[in-house]
């Protein structure tokens, strides 16, 4: 039997299998409550022999964060266990558990084989997809670089240049012409240009004021992130390996996209090495140059830079997309931010740090719509979480910032409200951070996000420049947008807006 016929039979068999499983069980998001000693005890989603909760997970994969949040709210411990063919998944919104996983017993909860294997061909052994010594080496180098004022200054200059020469002219043109823009797409392009300059020292020119061109690198990177996320949604945890072996379905396109991303990164590194050897000196502003100066292996550097592009491209654009939508719905918050910004045309790095209300509004926005709504670890040994949940070796343990932002026990009865004031001291008006294990939007513990400070500097700079010049209004306000998750959060269907000049 040739490969083509073998694959055809495999597809037919798999289709029959899915039809059988889906029969009568498509909507399986049933929750059971039983009375025990006068209290309500939650037993989790519908579970079947062998399959466990897999059917319920599959039926709700398109709204996983919302579904998990509803289940966690029913649990007295704010923790649930989803059983599946590939092993159990523990999902928690309990701050004590989060602190235990991310700090107290950190060595027992690495990224783990499940996640690193899924992402290895795309992210390689980069900092966000590695454990142990490989992670420690990269963390040490990256931590040093991110704490240098020269890199912070370089990032500030890059962001300001992109704002002044591209984003502001684009918004100005859209306002004059009355054009509808997909702000989510615009912010992704803005972030992609920025992170490419910061990481590679090269400009893909994705945000041109006259038109919105697609660079081959941007298209390949976007496709790779979208398709890699499909692996996490596979009904059978190992089925993506079969598709990859046969080059079937999205795996064929994913492989092509990853090859383009890798070859592009390798070409940039080659040119930088040639330029450095020719001049006898190296430019050390961008991250690539800084990592090259450490003497690391070229393949390793490719992985590192691709990891940083993934982290910097989607997170800030996702955060700002939801932030601008929330401002449109809460004009009093928008006005308070504008008043705090004032009339100054020049807002530098030191000035934006003083914008307490803006900082609070951004934190409040990410509480409700975190750029990374779910993060998983894997238990290296058998364990028991602080809330009593038993964890077997190899079990995936996930904390869910999306759910945590919607817990009354953490945020009070007004947890559903967008209220930046909850982050401010009532007397001084200064920003007061909450425990990072109650608000793990930037992770916490040893793996806390290195780019947190710079992410805030970028976001504040963008908001200041935009709100001083424009009002952003939804093109269609009849329905609330839908929160979806790939590797990071997205607004389903984009964010169409009209721009009004002030």
33 within a domain of the structure (yes/no) = yes
87 within a domain of the structure (yes/no) = yes
pLDDT in tens, 62-106: 899 999 999 999 999 999 999 877 678 999 999 999 999 999 999
Please, are residues 65 and 483 in contact by the beta-carbon 8 Å criterion?
yes
Mean pLDDT of 489-497: 94
Q: What is the pLDDT of residue 346?
A: 61
Is the confidence at residue 459, as pLDDT, over 80? yes
Mean pLDDT of 449-468: 91
53 within a domain of the structure (yes/no) = yes
Mean pLDDT of 411-419: 97
124 within a domain of the structure (yes/no) = no
Q: What is the pLDDT of residue 21?
A: 47
Q: Among 112, 110, 74, which Cα is nearest to 93's? A: 74
If pLDDT is split at 50, 70 and 90, which confidence band does 120 have?
A: very high
132 within a domain of the structure (yes/no) = no
Please, are residues 472 and 183 in contact by the beta-carbon 8 Å criterion?
yes
Quote the domain boundaries for residue 48.
24-111+379-404
Q: Please list, in sequence order, all residues whose beta carbon lies within 8 angstroms of the beta carbon of residue 17, skipping any fewer than 6 positions away.
A: none
If pLDDT is split at 50, 70 and 90, which confidence band does 43 have?
A: low
Rg (CA), the chain: 23
The label of the residue with tokens 């411990």 reads 77
The whole-angstrom separation of Cα 201 and Cα 199 is 6
214 within a domain of the structure (yes/no) = no
Is the confidence at residue 332, as pLDDT, over 80? yes
99 within a domain of the structure (yes/no) = yes
If pLDDT is split at 50, 70 and 90, which confidence band does 131 have?
A: very high
Low-confidence winner among 123-127, 258-262, 308-312, 395-399 (lowest mean pLDDT): 308-312
Is the confidence at residue 9, as pLDDT, over 70? no
Backbone angles phi, psi at 377, to 5 degrees: -120, 180
Backbone angles phi, psi at 56, to 5 degrees: -65, -40
478 C-beta neighbours (distance < 10 Å), count:
5
Using the Cα atoms of residue 449, residue 138, residue 490 and residue 338 in order, give the sign of their dihedral. Answer: positive
Is the confidence at residue 16, as pLDDT, over 50? no
Structural domains in the chain (count): 1
Torsion of CA 411, 417, 419, 423, to 10 degrees: 10
184 within a domain of the structure (yes/no) = no
pLDDT in tens, 179-226: 999 999 999 999 999 988 888 888 888 887 666 777 888 899 989 998
The label of the residue with tokens 């684009």 reads 170
């Amino acid at each position: 039997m040739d490969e083509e016929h073998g694959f055809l039979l495999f597809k037919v068999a798999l289709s029959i299998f899915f039809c059988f499983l889906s029969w009568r069980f498509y909507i399986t998001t049933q929750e059971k409550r039983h009375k025990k000693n006068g209290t309500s005890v939650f037993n989790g989603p519908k579970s079947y022999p062998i399959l466990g909760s897999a059917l319920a997970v599959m039926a709700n994969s398109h709204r996983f964060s919302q579904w998990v949040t509803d289940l966690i709210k029913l649990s007295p411990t704010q923790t649930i266990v989803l059983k599946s063919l590939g092993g159990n998944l523990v999902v928690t919104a309990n701050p004590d558990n989060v602190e235990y996983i991310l700090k107290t017993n950190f060595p027992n909860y690495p990224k783990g084989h499940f996640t690193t294997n899924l992402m290895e061909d795309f992210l390689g052994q980069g900092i966000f997809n590695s454990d142990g010594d490989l992670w420690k080496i990269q963390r040490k180098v990256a931590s040093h670089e991110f704490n240098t004022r020269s890199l912070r200054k370089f990032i500030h200059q890059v962001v300001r240049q992109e704002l002044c020469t591209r984003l502001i002219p684009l918004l100005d043109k859209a306002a004059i012409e009355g054009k509808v823009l997909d702000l989510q797409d615009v912010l992704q392009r803005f972030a992609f240009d920025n992170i490419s300059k910061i990481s590679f020292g090269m400009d893909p020119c994705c945000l041109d004021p006259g038109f919105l061109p697609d660079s081959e690198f941007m298209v390949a990177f976007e496709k790779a992130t979208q398709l890699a996320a499909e692996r996490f949604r596979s009904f059978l945890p190992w089925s993506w390996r079969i598709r990859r072996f046969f080059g079937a379905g999205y795996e064929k396109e994913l492989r092509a996209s990853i090859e383009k991303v890798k070859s592009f990164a390798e070409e940039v590194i080659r040119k930088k090495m040639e330029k450095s050897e020719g001049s006898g000196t190296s430019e050390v502003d961008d991250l690539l140059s800084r990592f090259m100066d450490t003497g690391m292996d070229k393949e390793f550097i490719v992985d590192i830079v691709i990891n940083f592009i993934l982290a910097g491209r989607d997170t800030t654009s996702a955060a700002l997309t939801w932030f601008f939508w929330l401002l449109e719905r809460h004009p009093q918050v928008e006005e308070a931010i504008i008043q705090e910004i004032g009339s100054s045309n020049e807002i530098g790095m030191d000035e934006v740090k003083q914008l307490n209300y803006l900082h609070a509004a951004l934190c409040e926005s990410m509480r409700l719509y975190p750029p990374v709504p779910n993060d998983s670890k894997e238990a290296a040994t058998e364990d028991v979480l602080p809330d009593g949940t038993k964890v077997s070796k190899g079990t995936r343990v996930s904390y869910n910032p999306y759910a945590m932002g919607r817990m009354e026990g953490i945020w009070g009865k007004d947890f559903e409200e967008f209220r930046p004031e909850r982050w401010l001291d009532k007397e001084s008006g200064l920003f007061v951070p909450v425990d990072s294990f109650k608000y793990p939007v930037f992770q916490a513990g040893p793996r806390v996000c290195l780019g947190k400070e710079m992410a805030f500097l970028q976001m504040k700079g963008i908001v200041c420049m935009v709100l001083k010049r424009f009002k952003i209004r939804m093109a269609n306000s009849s329905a609330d947008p839908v929160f979806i998750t790939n590797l990071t959060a997205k607004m389903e269907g984009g964010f169409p807006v009209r721009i009004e000049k002030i």
